[in-house]
Amino acid sequence: MKQHKFAPWLIIMAGVVAAMHIGKLPPTIPILQQQLDLNLNQVGFLLSAIQAAGMLCALSLGMAAGKIGLKKMLMGGLGILMVASTLGAFSQHFYALFAARLLEGFGFLCVILPAPALLRQLVSLDKLKAMMAYWGAYMGLGVALSLLITPLGLQAFHWSYVWLGFAALAFVMGLWVWRVVPVVQVSHHQQQSLGQLFRQILSHAPSWLLGLVFACYTSQWFAIMGFLPSIYIQANVAAAHAGMLTALVCLSNVLGSVLSGVLLQQGRRALSLLSTGFVVMIVGTIMMFAGVNDLPFIWQYVGVLAFSMVGGLIPGVVFAYAGVFAPSPQLVAGSIGWIQQWSSLGQFCLPPLMGVLVTWWGGWEQAWMVCVTLSILGILGSFKIQSLIDKVRF
């Protein structure tokens, strides 16, 4: 029984470990450029490789989770991360490293897609929304830990040994999951074909709406994380401090997700949390972009922190209702997969789009318009989500 009580937190920890594999690349990029002679285009492909996996197969993997077994898929994902990180550590040229990152993207999905479905099975209904909101913090916490740990490791060891350390971490987490997390059976619709299950997901309005709202958030968040180095350069911030400042931004995102869990548990409406997140993101992006030449760095950074921290309310709400709004227990992972596929599409497309627009505009000062447009779209979707929630008694 004690194992079962700790199991949900261990599942969240597994998601954090998976996200750490995403966050380990940015601090390593300067070394990879030097040692593997990578150009900026190749670096861009390495950064987008994780999202390519999500764009192509998130829904399919989510649908397969029920057939494979939720615990088996999560453990398999950690195993894939271990293998991929090991292969990446021994890569000597771009193509081998790119293949390893693609494999890591696949392993990442195999961890994060069954995890919410496992939480739904292991957590009582009265605590489910809060626990799912806590799950929404896995990305910010994992990336922040990597941004803090990786630079320290690179100062003491060769980058390949640091990546082998991440492989070992995934292995240890896999063993821990095997020992603690119970096997759950979700077999309500085994008589249905895979095609029928796909149609249930694709005809389920809440999955589309949650995916749209989530993509409006994640695409901005990842684009802003990419813009932070430019802010630091313009403000003459030392590289040693830049990583800590970025990690603080990611950690602030965790606070938002955790707070959303507390507020949802207290009965706050999804609409108020989602709209608050998007409105503050609007203010934050205007401070960041429109204030590039007018505001001092400290105020731009305050805008970044507010953007990330209050915006963190959004993933907490999305995951909370993705778990309880799925068409059936068997389709939780599939619903999460469809939401993740929207998210990956936004993360893959927005940074290049912003790059084209910034080049056309001749600077970042107007980039806030892209973010504001996405936030307004997210707010409109939030109203529709709330109307669906009001029709259902959870």
Q: How far apart are alpha carbons 8 and 127 in whole angstroms?
A: 11
Residue 2 pLDDT: 44
Which tokens sit at 333?
A: 């992972």
Give residue 34's identity as a one-letter amino acid code: Q
3 state SS of 88: helix
- Residue 332 pLDDT greater than 70, yes or no: yes
> 345 vs 51, 219, 264, 305, CA distance in Å?
7, 8, 28, 25
Residue 188 lies in a domain: no
Which tokens sit at 361?
A: 């505009």
> 384 vs 161, 207, 275, 312, CA distance in Å?
49, 12, 12, 20
Cα–Cα–Cα angle for 240, 229, 372, nearest 5°? 145
Residue 247 lies in a domain: yes
Residue 241 lies in a domain: yes
- The 3-state secondary structure of 315-383 reads HHHHHHHHHHHCCCHHHHHHHHHHHHHHHHHHHHHHHHHHHHHHHHHCCCCCCHHHHHHHHHHHHHHHH
Summarize pLDDT for 216-242 with one digit per residue, the tens: 999 888 878 766 765 676 677 776 677
Residue 189 lies in a domain: no
Residue 316 lies in a domain: yes
Summarize pLDDT for 371-381 with one digit per residue, the tens: 999 999 999 99
Residue 108 lies in a domain: yes
CATH number at residue 154: 1.20.1250.20
Residue 186 lies in a domain: no
Kindly state the average pLDDT of the residues 99-106: 92
The domain in which residue 45 lies consists of: 2-181+194-391
Residue 13 pLDDT: 95
Domains identified in the chain, total number: 1
State the residue for tokens 């934050």: 284
Q: Which of 7-11, 232-236, 275-279, 388-392 has the highest mean pLDDT?
A: 275-279
Give residue 167's identity as a one-letter amino acid code: A
Between these two residues, 294 and 108, which has the higher pLDDT value? Answer: 108
Residue 192 pLDDT: 62
- Residue 362 pLDDT greater than 70, yes or no: yes
Summarize pLDDT for 155-205 with one digit per residue, the tens: 889 999 999 999 999 999 999 999 988 887 665 545 566 667 777 777 778
Residue 187 lies in a domain: no
Q: How far apart are alpha carbons 241 and 247 in whole angstroms?
A: 10
